Each structure stands twice: as C-alpha cells, then as structure tokens.
Amino acid sequence: MPMKQKNSTKILVTAALLVVSLICIFPIFFCIFTSFKESTEIIKEITFFPKKWSSVNYDYVFARGAKYLKYYLNTIIITLSSVLITMILSALSGYAFARLPFKGSSTLLGTVLFILAFPLAAILIPIYMMEYDLKLLNTYIGIILPNLLCILPFSIFIMRGAFIDMPKELEDSAEIDGCTVPQTWWYIMLPLARNALVIVLVSGFYNVWGEYTIAKTLATKDAIMPISVALTLLKSEDWNYGVLAAAITLSIIPPIVVFSIFQDKLVEGMSAGAVKG
C-alpha cells in the first residue's frame, strides 16, 4: 500500500513538473516555430507547428537585412569586450581581496558588493550627461564601460570565493621558487580558478547579451545598437512577425545553448552569489 502511494506521488510530481516546464518554454518554442512559417500562415492560421516549413524569414534576415547583421555584430562586440574586461578585472580584484589584503580592503569589498544592489536609474542620468560631454554616446566604449557595472561586482565576488578556498602552501612554495606576486597569480592561482572563471564568463555573457536599459539610454543610433534594443524599435516599423521571430530566434539561441552546457556550474555559482552577496 505505501509503495503504491509513493508511486502515485511520483507520477503527480512528474506531471506537475511537465506542465510547468512546457509553460516555461512555450514562448521560446512558439518563437522558433513561428520563424519557420510564412506570413500568411502566421496571420491566418492558428498552428503551433508550421504546416509548411519555410526558410523565407531567415533568408530575409541574412540577405536583405544587412542591418540585422549589423545589430548582431554590435551585440557580439559589446558582449565579448565587456565579458573579457570583466574576466581580467575580476580575476585581479578577486585575488587581491582574497589573498593580498591591505588596510581598507575589506571596506572596499563592502562597497563593491553594495553596488550590486544599486538601481541603474540613479547613475544613468549623470553617465548620460558625462558621455554627452565627452562625445561617448553612441560609441562601443561608451556602452561597454557602464555594462561592466552590472556584471563586475558579482564576478569579483565569485573570483574572491574561488581564491579564498585555495591552499596557502601553493603560494608559499611558488614564492620560495622565486615567483613574484603577479607570476604566482598568473601561473599558479589563475589556472586553478578556471571553474570560477567559467561562471564569470557565462553569467557575464548572458547578462550583457540581453542587456536593455543601458543600451537603450546610451545608444540611439542604428550603427551602434545591440539587437536587444534594435528589435524593440523595429517592431512598429516593419511589422513582419515572421522576420521578427527569425531575428529573435537567432538572438535567444546563443545564451540558451551556453546555459544548457554550463547549467550545473552556473546554478551553483548563482546560488552562492545571491546567498552571500
């Protein structure tokens, strides 16, 4: 009898999870399938799966839509540079916070973590005015630098956590062998922290890839806009949902793929970051 009860609970739990999972991924798959439909089917029929698979929307995005490719390029440039800079800075700062303490460094750490919670609204207004005066509006660097604020504090926190857990003997023996501090950091410690670096890379990647507020404020010209902003503005202009769905599909796939690959590591990192941060 109890065995039977256990089985029925199991089935109920699985069924509930299945329903929720399908609801969660419904919009994503709806978008993917819509992108393979022709526009008459999108407007007239109600189907989830395309009746006739067609690549016409993708042809449009790749061929006629040179501007779409430009938006992707912008997103890629902004994302990769922000993530690269963040990896370097967080590896340096995380190591300094964990292993090279000096007077005032714990206060500094508190400040960094506090920034994690700051609403962008409070700093975007002066940043906009500053960038206007320095002619940095609508430049890559003008978007990349503020983007660092969103991902750097969490990344520093993750890197610090990784370095703090490493045995001290490693550093001592490296120093006896004549390594300077930067050499120890680069050759001995950093390779051991590569799991944390992966978390920094992946979380930075998807955060900047989909970033909207900063880019919307600081990029007003087509030439510099990332896809996350550009498509929201296109919406009212050329109201072709098939093309739009294709463009959206192409830009939500990279973060989803990256996430599925690194899921376990990332989930671990995220829970650690939120609980302690």
Partner 1 sequence: MQETISSRRKARERWGRLFLLPTCVILFVFVIYPIGYTLVLSLCDYNFAFDYHMKFAGFGNFVKMFRDPVYLTSLANTMFFTLVMFIFLVVFSLSLALLLFYKKKHSWFFRTAIFVPIVVPASLICILFSFMLADNFGIINKFLMSIGLSSWTHNWLTDATSAKWWVMIVSVWGKMGFCTILFLSGLQNIPSDLFEAAEIDGAVGWKKLIYVIIPNLAETFVVVGIWAILQCLKLFVTPNVLTKGGPANATKVLYQYIYDTAFQNFDMGYASAQAIILTVLVMIFSFLNMKIGKKEGE
Out of 1, 3, 24, 176, the residue judged to bind partner 1 by CB under 8 A: 24
Distance separating alpha carbons of residues 208 and 267, to the nearest angstrom: 18
Instruction: With beta carbons less than 8 A apart as the criterion, state whether 61 and 250 touch.
Output: yes
Window contacting partner 1 (CB under 8 A); options: 52-60, 66-74, 119-127, 192-200: 119-127
Window contacting partner 1 (CB under 8 A); options: 49-57, 63-71, 180-188, 189-197: 180-188
Please report whether residue 55 would count as binding partner 1 according to CB under 8 A: no
Window contacting partner 1 (CB under 8 A); options: 63-71, 76-84, 117-125, 157-165: 117-125
Minimum CB distance to partner 1 smaller for 56 or for 113: 113
Instruction: With beta carbons less than 8 A apart as the criterion, state whether 159 and 93 touch.
Output: yes
Neighbours of 58 (CB within 10 A): 18
Whole-angstrom Cα Rg for the chain = 23
Out of 145, 193, 197, 246, the residue judged to bind partner 1 by CB under 8 A: 145
Q: Which of residues 191-230 bind partner 1 (CB under 8 A)?
A: 206, 209-210, 212-213, 216-217, 227-229
Window contacting partner 1 (CB under 8 A); options: 50-58, 63-71, 118-126, 189-197: 118-126
Give me the long-range contacts of 212-217 (CB less than 8 A, separation at least 24): 213/120, 213/124, 214/120, 214/124, 214/143, 214/146, 214/147, 214/150, 215/78, 215/143, 217/124, 217/128
Minimum CB distance to partner 1 smaller for 84 or for 129: 129
Please report whether residue 277 would count as binding partner 1 according to CB under 8 A: yes
Out of 125, 141, 164, 223, the residue judged to bind partner 1 by CB under 8 A: 125
Out of 56, 76, 179, 181, the residue judged to bind partner 1 by CB under 8 A: 181
Q: Which of residues 90-109 bind partner 1 (CB under 8 A)?
A: 92-93, 95-97, 99-103, 105, 108
Distance separating alpha carbons of residues 186 and 95, to the nearest angstrom: 10
Task: Give alpha helix (H) positions in the chain.
Answer: 2-34, 39-44, 56-62, 66-99, 105-115, 120-133, 140-164, 168-176, 181-183, 190-192, 194-209, 213-218, 227-237, 241-276
Out of 63, 129, 141, 223, the residue judged to bind partner 1 by CB under 8 A: 129
